[in-house]
Structure formats: structure tokens, C-alpha cells
Amino acid sequence: MDFIQGEALLVNKPLEWTSFDVVNKLRYALKRKTSNKNYKVGHAGTLDPLASGLLIICCGKMTKRIDEFTGMDKEYTGTITIGATTPCFDKELPPDAFYPTEHITEELLRETAKQFVGLIQQYPPIYSAVKVDGQKGYLAARKGKDIELKAREITIIEFELTRIAMPEVDFRVVCSKGTYIRSLANDFGKALNSGAYLSALCRTQIGEYKLSNALSIEDTIKRIEAAPAPPVEEK
């Protein structure tokens, strides 16, 4: 590992960890390795705590490329549960409404999925880090405030249904920067004249970087500890 020029570490984020939890854990190991308390570490694209999968951790001079990594197309796999909605569009909160599903056939599911491929307008979830009047949406939502988020233009490159076992539908999606898969699940339910929420999510690819090449947090730390110490810079 080249600590001076920096590294882009591919990490498999486990469930219930925040992206910042991963950054903080690795920052501690990297600062100890480099003996540099100001060593820079950051992530390139947040994953929700209930999502797992590929997280790119940039360190050293590689932090200058964070925006480049964040702007890359991403691939996800996961599960959408049909027939109910939650306030946060995933299973972090319990369902707040239930809807009929008797009319939903496999053909309807697949035809509806096709409607979302291409350039679309998408509203972020209220429970998100998108700021409204200077405050993050999820903070305002938890206080019971009525907030209105603006739609964003995003691109769904592929939206494939890989397993249908109602009320669960597994999927694979390839999308542009700024896409909320939770919103896609919610909008998918509306388009079915029903409801839906995201019940599982895994990020499998960012640009050309794949989850299959990522290490666990523990193995990443072992790799850092096993690497040669960086040379001491002359003053």
C-alpha cells in the first residue's frame, strides 16, 4: 500500500454500520500506521445502515478523487416488499399503511419495471440527508415537521426483476449518481396501484469496482497493519 500517494480501499460494509462508522474505524488504523494524526480518510458514496456492500474508502492523496468515484454509475441488488409502505421507504420503521396485491401478476410487475428505465424524475425520501432550509431531511422528519423535497433527474440504466415470490420481489438495478433505491421501491409500489418498500439492499459495483474484490473491515485493517510503514519525511 502506498500511503503517501494514497489508496482507494474496497470495503464490504456490513449491515447496521453507517458509512462513517467504517471511515472512523479505518481512520484510526491508518493514523496509527502512518503516525499522522491529520491523515485524510473519506468515503465515496454513502450506504444506509440497513444496506450492505461495496464502499470505496479513499485515503491520503486519493481523497482528491472522491467526487470522481461518487459520480460513477452504481449497481445494486436487493428485495422490494409489495403491499405495504413505511415512512422511510425501507424497513428501518414499521409499515404505516397496507395495500391490495391481488391484482398484481408477474406480467404486471415486469411491465411496470420497464417504466422506470431511462431518465426519470425522482423525489428523495423524507428520511434522508438531503437538506431543506439548512436542515437534514431526516432530522426534520423525526421532529414531525412537514417538509417538501424537490424532484431530481436521475437515470435508471437497468432495472431487472430476478425473483418474484410475492410479496417479495428481488431485483438488480444499475443507476446514476443521486439515485435513491428506497424511492425507486416506493415509486414502484405506486405504479403497481399498491404500495412497496425496500426490505434488503446490497451495492455490488461502483463504476468498474466490484464487491467481489472488496474486503471485510477486519481484513482491511489486517492489510493496513501488514503493509510496510511509510518512509519518514525529511524536514
Give the angle 135-140-143 at the CA atoms, nearest 5°.
145
Question: Which pLDDT tens digit goes with each residue over 104-117?
Answer: 999 999 999 999 99
Catalytic position from the list 2, 48, 90, 133: 48
Instruction: Say how many C-beta atoms besides its own lie within 10 A of residue 212's C-beta.
Output: 10
Q: Is 170 a catalytic residue?
A: no
Question: Which pLDDT tens digit goes with each residue over 182-197?
Answer: 999 999 999 999 999 9
Which secondary-structure segment (H or E) carries 204?
strand 196-206
Give the angle 195-173-66 at the CA atoms, nearest 5°.
115
**DSSP H helical ranges for the chain:** 19-34, 66-70, 106-114, 137-142, 181-191, 217-226
What backbone phi and psi angles, to 5 degrees, belong to 76? Answer: -130, 155
Global pTM value: 0.89
Question: How far apart, in Å, do the first and last CA atoms of the chain sit?
Answer: 23
Question: Which pLDDT tens digit goes with each residue over 136-188?
Answer: 544 444 545 555 677 899 999 999 999 999 999 999 999 999 999 999 999 99
Question: Which pLDDT tens digit goes with each residue over 9-18?
Answer: 999 999 999 9
All domains of the chain, ordered by start, with CATH? 7-71+209-226 (3.30.2350.10), 74-206 (3.30.2350.10)
- Whether the pLDDT of residue 135 is over 90: the answer is no
CA distance 198 to 165: 15
Q: Is 27 helix (H, G, I), strand (E, B) or coil?
A: helix
